[in-house]
């Protein structure tokens, strides 16, 4: 089911970096995210709820340049 908050997620297992793109176009990369968390996020029925509960305040992050459409 498409998310109303999260447009896309990508994961770099070598760097353990999770990139989250929101429907607003804002993009963030979260550091040192375990692969199990990425898999759980990818398969979560509600991406927004999972993000808020498990990722938002749990990992260091930096905002990337806004994605342009």
pLDDT tens sequence across 29-67 = 999 999 999 999 999 999 999 999 999 999 999 999 876
Give a yes or no: residue 39 inside a domain: yes
**Percent helix, strand, coil in the chain (nearest 5)?**
25, 30, 45
Residue 12 lies in a domain: yes
Residue 54 lies in a domain: yes
pTM above 0.85, yes or no: yes
* Domain membership flag for residue 1: no
Does the structure show a pLDDT above 60 at 1?
no
CA angle 64, 65, 67 (to 5 degrees): 110
44 occurs within a structural domain: yes
Query: Residues 1-25: what's their mean pLDDT?
Result: 92
Number of domains in the chain: 1
CB within 8 Å of 56: residues ≥ 6 apart: none
In a domain, 58, yes or no: yes
Note the pLDDT of residue 2.
66
Host domain of residue 36 = 6-64
């Amino acid at each position: 089911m498409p998310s109303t908050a999260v447009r896309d997620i990508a994961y770099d297992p070598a760097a353990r970096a999770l990139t989250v793109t929101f429907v607003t176009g804002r993009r963030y990369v979260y550091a040192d995210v375990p692969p199990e968390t990425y898999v759980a996020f990818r398969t979560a029925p509600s991406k927004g709820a999972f993000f808020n509960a498990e990722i938002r305040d749990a990992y260091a992050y930096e905002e990337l340049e806004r994605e342009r459409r």
